[in-house]
């Protein structure tokens, strides 16, 4: 019998510079922080939150998105592991607005593309991790 999963609980991305990545994800997506080690945390709190590995976890609807600093390696979607991470938006208009926001921030993207089963907007985070926004067909 297969394992009866209902959704993803969380995804954690490994990044080279946690401050730079936090600035990017917070600026572009505006996600609320769900878990982080508070500044000045005591040893017990640091131990309790050791699962963060020096990173942060954001709330994304009913799921979580984490960032974890690991070193200087670069993302490559052609290696085993992650190809890309896709975020859902409500409409094509949301994709157009997202493209405009990325333009304002100087973040390169591939433009909004109709893929038949909806539309997508592809771009990359500061570590080159491939990100996508997906809108269902109108």
pLDDT tens digits, one per residue of 25-81: 999 999 999 999 999 999 999 999 999 999 999 999 999 999 999 988 888 899 889
Give the number of domains in the chain: 2
Measured CA to CA in angstroms, residue 124 lies from 29, 57, 80, 93, 106 at distances of 13, 19, 18, 20, 12
Query: What is the average pLDDT across 124-130?
Result: 96
What domain range is 110 assigned to?
84-138
* Same domain, residue pair 95 and 64: no
What is the C-alpha to C-alpha distance for residues 84 and 132, in angstroms, rounded to an integer? 7
Percent over 90 (pLDDT), the chain = 88
pLDDT of 4 strictly over 90? no
Please give the pLDDT value at position 74: 84
- The CATH number linked to 35 is 3.10.180.10
Of 72, 99, 125, which residue is a domain's last?
A: 72
pLDDT of 122 strictly over 90? yes
Percent over 70 (pLDDT), the chain = 100
What is the C-alpha to C-alpha distance for residues 32 and 123, in angstroms, rounded to an integer? 21
Q: Where are the alpha helices (DSSP H) in the chain?
A: 18-29, 43-48, 92-105
* Same domain, residue pair 66 and 88: no
């Amino acid at each position: 019998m297969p394992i009866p999963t209902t959704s993803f609980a969380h995804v954690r991305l490994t990044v080279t510079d946690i401050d730079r990545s936090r600035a990017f994800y917070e600026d572009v997506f505006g996600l609320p922080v769900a878990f982080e080690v508070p500044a000045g945390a005591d040893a017990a709190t640091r131990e309790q939150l050791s699962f963060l590995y020096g990173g942060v976890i954001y709330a994304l609807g009913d799921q979580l998105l984490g960032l974890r600093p690991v070193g200087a390696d670069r993302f490559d979607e052609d290696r085993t592991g992650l190809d890309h991470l896709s975020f859902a938006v409500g409409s094509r208009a949301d994709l157009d607005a997202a493209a405009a926001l990325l333009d304002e921030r100087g973040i390169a993207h591939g433009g909004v593309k109709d893929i038949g089963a909806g539309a997508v907007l592809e771009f990359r985070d500061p570590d080159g991790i491939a990100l996508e926004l997906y809108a269902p067909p109108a």
